[in-house]
Amino acid sequence: MLTDRIAVITGGSRGIGREIAMTLAAKGAVVIVNYNGSAEKAEAVVKEIQAAGGKGEAVQCNVSDFEKAAELMEYVVKKYGRIDILVNNAGITRDGLVMKMSEEDFDAVIATNLKGAFNCIRHVARQMVKQRAGRIISISSVSGVLGNVGQANYSASKAGLIGLTKTVAREMASRGVTVNAVAPGFIDTEMTQVLSDKVKESVMEQIPMKRFGATKDIANTVAFLASDDAGYITGQVICVDGGMAM
């Protein structure tokens, strides 16, 4: 259980982030649902958490902004006294072949997916070291492990998260803080629902288990890594991908 642990989940208003928020709250955590765009969706997640007897609140912040990320973490520490769990989930895509990809599309994806995670880790690290306890979990991707056509920016950002995870894990291991990454494969979310049947069939051929995963598969893995049961696991990348990257 994660009773009364304080958890910050970036990009927590929909998809995988929403499922992580719901799952951690169900296990007793106080969940801060961070969002950048839709306050309505974030508030809906919080209402659902509260209706189920959980605790949480929605907080707006563009995590790609270094100072705004600092303000988010300062707000949480001031209100709750600590931060026990940070889940770096905020992410965007701007797909296109590298020979046609604009600088703006490359920069935007790196800024949110990679720099956003750095910003949050940077501003939570001192607090966790002071506590001598903490869990940092970043959502990478099978695209960051294998690469993916049309996703030079996204794959680079998710591969970067893996390097960031391993480095921070080494830096913070002696202070009681574990740092891990989860690399989802193809998960049934809004992002994959827009794919054509032909593309979905092609993807299925690459998945040994021949099916897409569910958001719960990712959330359950994150919940385990956030728990006391995972206290001796750090610097790892857990692929939850039906066997794609084996």
Positions marked active-site: 154
In angstroms, the first-to-last Cα distance of the chain is: 30
